[in-house]
Amino acid sequence: MSYSNGGGHGQRQKADMTNQVYSGSPASPASHNGTLLRTVGLTKRFGKLEAVKDLNIELRRGEVFGFLGPNGAGKSTTVGMILGLVAPTAGSIELFGRRLDDDRWAALRRVGAMIEEPAFYPYLSGRDNLEVLAMAIGGIPGCRITEVLERVGLLDRAADRYSHYSMGMKQRLGIASTLLRDPELIILDEPASGLDPAGTKEVRDLIPKLAHESRAVLLCSHLLHEVEQVCDRVAIIKQGTMLASAPIQELLMRQTVFQIKVPDPARAVEVLTGLSWIESARIESDCLIVHAPKDSASDINRALAEQEIFASELVSRTLSLESVFLELTGRESHDQTD
């Protein structure tokens, strides 16, 4: 698990590489109905700042779980607590059915994490970098290095220098480093950050496959289109507080966005926002954008007509994860990471 931005040499870089992976024991049988990670009332305060507030999340074997939020939402603090790097103020963390405090290192040896850009020696090959890391960890057979290189699609380029790798290949090598001891839980923080479309697709294709090998993946990303394609469930937080946690499709199906054209949009907004079942209504360009329950088009039309506001157009739009995210966290939160 890397905590650097990829820079630094000598002892600092060696330390970065030694710390790049939290992993250990081979995968064990399903734990506690498949729940690998659970937080209960997880809270962290820094002085008067409450960075994480009463956070409850659950991650199950075989799924990709998206952990989303705008800048300063508390994602990094939460991941730090899960990895034992930040002490919670209140609440508890369970890994593999046991409290993290009961046997921290036994639990963390079953977790692989890649935080920020992975740090490797640029003048060594991909294989040699993994061999250095394997020696630092200890107990990793040479055949395992071949297995993880093949797993991430780098076996044919294993002898090439790391400095010659594309960004997508570098990220895949970082993911390979988290797999050296076959972890059951993998935490990936912005694994597609800075990648071109081809590199993004490489990482996007790999992540669900890892989860389907009886693992679980906790994915922190601000690329919401990619999250929508790879995640089974998502949690959205803001200012340390959970706003939503649900399967992707359930979250997208909770509401429909209606695009409405009326002669007096400002008055229409006033009418609709006065209705308890309307989630939100705003003017966008020359249209009215309304978030409301599914199959409520006729009710919206009736409510407007009763106030002698007649729509010339009323169409529904398919919700995206991005639109749900922005609606929950605020329209200003477009570049989300912390």
Residue-wise pLDDT tens digits, 31-75:
445 899 999 999 999 999 999 999 999 999 999 999 999 988 999
Residues 313 and 243 in one domain: no
- 118 class by beta-carbon count within 10 Å (0-12 exposed, 13-18 middle, 19+ buried): buried
Residue corresponding to tokens 């076959």 = 182
Question: Taking 70 as the threshold, does the pLDDT of residue 153 lie above it?
Answer: yes
Report which of residues 18 and 96 the model is more confident about: 96
Q: What is the pLDDT of residue 93?
A: 97
Residues 275 and 312 in one domain: yes
Pairing verdict, β 287-292 and 256-261: antiparallel
Q: What is the pLDDT of residue 1?
A: 40
Q: Distance (Å, rounded) from C-alpha 285 to C-alpha 263?
A: 13
Tally of domains in the chain? 2
Mean pLDDT confidence for 295-312: 93
The residue from 211, 228, 250 where one domain ends is 250
Query: Closest Cα to residue 145, out of 129, 157, 160, 161?
Result: 129
Question: Taking 50 as the threshold, does the pLDDT of residue 179 lie above it?
Answer: yes
Q: Distance (Å, rounded) from C-alpha 183 to C-alpha 25?
A: 7
Mean pLDDT confidence for 228-254: 92
> What kind and span of H or E run contains 2?
none
Q: What is the pLDDT of residue 30?
A: 41
Q: Distance (Å, rounded) from C-alpha 5 to C-alpha 194?
A: 13
Residues 60 and 121 in one domain: yes
Query: Closest Cα to residue 130, out of 146, 116, 113?
Result: 146
Question: Taking 70 as the threshold, does the pLDDT of residue 308 lie above it?
Answer: yes
Of 197-201, 253-257, 332-336, least confident by mean pLDDT is 332-336
Residues 276 and 137 in one domain: no
Is residue 24 included in any domain, yes or no?
A: yes
> Structure pTM?
0.78
The residue from 250, 282, 308 where one domain ends is 250
CATH of the domain at 172: 3.40.50.300
Q: What is the pLDDT of residue 17?
A: 41
Q: Which of 120-129, 132-141, 198-207, 309-318 has maximum average pLDDT?
A: 120-129
CATH of the domain at 287: 3.30.70.100
**Where in the sequence is the domain holding 263, given as residue range(s)?**
256-318
* Spatial CB neighbours of 82, under 8 Å, sequence gap ≥ 6: 37, 39, 93, 95, 100, 111, 187, 218
Mean pLDDT confidence for 76-91: 95
Residues 269 and 235 in one domain: no
Report which of residues 234 and 195 the model is more confident about: 234
Q: Distance (Å, rounded) from C-alpha 290 to C-alpha 90?
A: 39
Residues 112 and 213 in one domain: yes
Q: What is the pLDDT of residue 21?
A: 38
Residues 17 and 64 in one domain: yes
Q: What is the pLDDT of residue 331?
A: 57
Of 4-18, 31-45, 300-314, 324-338, least confident by mean pLDDT is 4-18
Pairing verdict, β 49-60 and 98-99: unpaired
Is residue 275 included in any domain, yes or no?
A: yes
Q: Which amino acid is residue 204, in one-letter code?
A: R
- 29 class by beta-carbon count within 10 Å (0-12 exposed, 13-18 middle, 19+ buried): exposed
Q: Which residues pair with 236 in a beta bridge?
A: 68, 244
Give the three-class secondary structure for 325: helix
Mean pLDDT confidence for 160-186: 93
Q: Is residue 67 within 8 Å of residue 37, measured between CB atoms?
A: no
